[in-house]
Amino acid sequence: MKLIIDTVKKTLERVDRGRSKGFDLYSKEAFELISRQWLKVGWSQKYSYTFTWMGRPIIQHPEDILRIQEVLFELQPDIIIETGVAHGGSLILYASLCQLMGKGKVIGVDIEIRPHNRKAIEAHPMKPWITLIEGSSIDPKTVGKVKKLIKPKDKVLVILDSDHTKEHVRHELDAYFSFVSPGSYLVVTDGIITDLKDVPQNKKYRVDEGPCEAAQEFLKKHPEFTLQSPHWRFNESPLTENVTCWPGAWLKRK
């Protein structure tokens, strides 16, 4: 696909497989086309590696950060489980929201929590709201440790953000779906990876199948879940689609 932007004529032309279509440069359609390409360029330039939350690198796209906080505020969960800890910025984000809401705990799971990251997380003011579990997210022993921290009536939301291969995500879905409360979400992050095969700097993920495909397979076997992006709590624009690295992420338990 080719995008041709003419700032003088104020047009955007999309050329795809020999077919051309023009748009007003300042239209909803142009915004969506440019945004999708911007996400890919941003991934190439490690744009999400330029942000922190309360001092810890968060490695998330800004819109995804804002959308998840909207969901957490609306749901008011008792337990937030995240696989994939890295520097701990996401855990700190969720913990800070728990503090503000006056409820909730965060469980972070990672196969390896590097000593310097663990030290920084454990020294952080938000640590009282965080429990760290080191171990493979799909190891039954690890899953068992998580289960012990959940009370029968807890409202639980799960975020999968560790290894983004289809096989691993599929195993995580099977391991954690039963923890998700009715009305809450199982969030399968970074489905954008299957759209990054032409990104020069994307050496790790050049795949045809990833988180989105794992989620689709899961949904076929689990009718109690549906693919449903959260509604926007505020919108005075014509826009309707998220600018996100998490397409196909939001699996809602009915």
Helix count (H) and strand count (E) of the chain?
7, 12
Contact residues for 32 (Cβ-Cβ < 8 A; gap 6+): 239, 241
* Contact in structure between 211 and 164 (CB atoms under 8 Å): yes
For residue 37, give the amino acid letter: Q
Whether the per-residue pLDDT at 224 is higher than 70: the answer is yes
Calculate mean pLDDT across residues 55-70. 98
Range name among 25-29, 168-172, 201-205, 249-253 with the lowest pLDDT average: 201-205
Calculate mean pLDDT across residues 123-143. 98
Q: How confident is the model at residue 217 (pLDDT cuts 50, 70, 90)?
A: very high
Cα separation, 12 vs 177, whole angstroms: 42
Residue with tokens 């171990």: 135
- Residue 202 confidence (pLDDT): 64
Range name among 15-24, 116-125, 170-179, 190-199 with the lowest pLDDT average: 190-199
Whether the per-residue pLDDT at 205 is higher than 90: the answer is no
> What is the radius of gyration, based on Cα positions, of the chain?
19
pLDDT digits (tens, 9 = 90+) for 77-100: 999 999 999 999 999 999 999 999
Enumerate the H helices of 76-164 as residue ranges: 89-101, 115-122, 140-148
Whether the per-residue pLDDT at 232 is higher than 80: the answer is yes
Whether the per-residue pLDDT at 203 is higher than 80: the answer is no
Range name among 46-60, 88-102, 205-219 with the lowest pLDDT average: 205-219
* Contact in structure between 139 and 171 (CB atoms under 8 Å): no
* Contact in structure between 121 and 57 (CB atoms under 8 Å): no
Range name among 35-39, 174-178, 187-191, 194-198 with the lowest pLDDT average: 194-198
Q: Which domains does the chain have, with CATH numbers?
A: 2-44 (no CATH), 52-253 (3.40.50.150)
Enumerate the H helices of the chain as residue ranges: 28-44, 62-75, 89-101, 115-122, 140-148, 166-176, 211-221
Average pLDDT in the chain: 96
